[in-house]
């Protein structure tokens, strides 16, 4: 087992733990996690406080246990076949908890992974809206932003891919009934929308990050509580799992910008 101290904990470790907390209390739901820190978080949650969490191989199967990042497909043990068509059945039933990435996110939780710039003639074409609209109105969704800046945390996203709170409310009960943007996790801190008008609130900062750092890197006004704690560190067990079992090659440290 890895011999570590508090000083050995990296920014990536804090991000992985914050992503794990997304799944706390969910019971038996399918976890979908995009990005290295979210993938680690889902696996860490399953091995500790969320043993009923269901993980997929991202392709067509449910996997047994919590395989390490980068595990060769031949080493995986499968619990069940999970073709892409069945994923939509799970999405529409609400039995899924998803961490998507966001190229842009705004104050009310709209997310953009489609294009940057004016709609008619964007400067950059991204991956498209993908399943973001359906995800956000059918089940719990959170977002992971590994490089927090005023280019990613913007006043208004250029294209609405994932639906935020204000747009869901404007669309009515069909959009709000199952709508929940649980957390936004970045390389600087953790955020939620637990405010009366459902705008983004700073929940915690990662150690080494100040509230002023977060404010300077955000392109809109955040709700800032009087006291902002540090993000929860990994326990000794969690840190050992991250280092020795789930990410022995240190892939998360290459993703997270400190």
Q: pLDDT tens digits, residue range 174-205? A: 999 999 999 999 999 999 999 999 999 999 99
**Strand partners of residue 184:** 143, 191
Query: What's the pLDDT at 1?
Result: 45
Q: What CATH number does the domain containing 176 carry? A: 3.40.1080.10
Query: What's the pLDDT at 8?
Result: 86
User: Is 1 within a domain?
Assistant: no
User: Is 198 within a domain?
Assistant: yes
Task: List the domain range (segments joined by +) for residue 45.
Answer: 6-255
The CB density around residue 244, as the number of other CB atoms within 10 Å, is 12
User: Is 223 within a domain?
Assistant: yes
Q: pLDDT tens, 99-132?
A: 999 999 999 999 999 999 998 899 999 999 988 9
- If DSSP codes are grouped into helix, strand and coil, which group holds residue 173? helix
The pTM for the full model equals 0.92
From 144, 224, 232, select the one nearest 186 (Cα to Cα).
Answer: 144
Angular region, 70: left φ>0, alpha ψ -120 to 50, beta rest: left
User: Is 122 within a domain?
Assistant: yes
Read off the DSSP letter of residue 153.
Answer: B
User: Is 79 within a domain?
Assistant: yes
User: Is 194 within a domain?
Assistant: yes
Query: Rounded to whole angstroms, how far apart are CA atoms 254 and 258?
Result: 10
Considering its fold, how many domains does the chain have in total? 1
Residue 81 has which token pair? 């076949």
């Amino acid at each position: 087992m890895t011999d570590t101290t508090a000083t050995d904990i990296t920014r990536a470790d804090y991000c992985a733990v914050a992503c794990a907390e997304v799944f706390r209390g969910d019971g038996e739901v399918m976890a979908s996690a995009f990005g290295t820190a979210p993938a680690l978080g889902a696996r860490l949650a399953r091995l500790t406080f969320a043993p009923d969490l269901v993980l997929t191989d991202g392709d067509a199967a449910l996997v047994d246990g919590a395989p390490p990042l980068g595990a060769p497909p031949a080493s995986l043990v499968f619990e069940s076949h999970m073709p892409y068509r069945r994923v939509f059945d799970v999405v529409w039933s609400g039995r899924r908890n998803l961490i998507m990435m966001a190229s842009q996110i705004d104050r009310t939780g709209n997310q953009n992974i489609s294009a940057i710039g004016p709609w008619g003639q964007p400067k950059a074409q991204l991956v498209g809206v993908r399943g973001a609209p359906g995800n956000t109105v059918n089940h719990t969704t959170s977002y992971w932003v590994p490089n927090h800046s005023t280019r990613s945390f913007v006043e208004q996203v250029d294209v609405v891919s994932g639906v935020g709170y204000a747009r869901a409310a404007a669309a009515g009960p069909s959009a709000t009934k199952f709508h929940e943007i649980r957390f936004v996790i970045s390389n600087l801190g953790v955020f939620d929308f637990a405010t009366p008008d459902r705008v983004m609130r700073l929940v915690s900062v990662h150690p080494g990050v100040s509230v002023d750092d977060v404010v300077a890197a955000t392109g809109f006004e955040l709700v800032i509580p009087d006291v902002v704690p540090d993000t929860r560190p990994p326990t000794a067990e969690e840190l050992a799992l991250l280092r020795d079992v789930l990410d022995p090659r240190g892939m998360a440290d290459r993703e997270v910008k400190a």
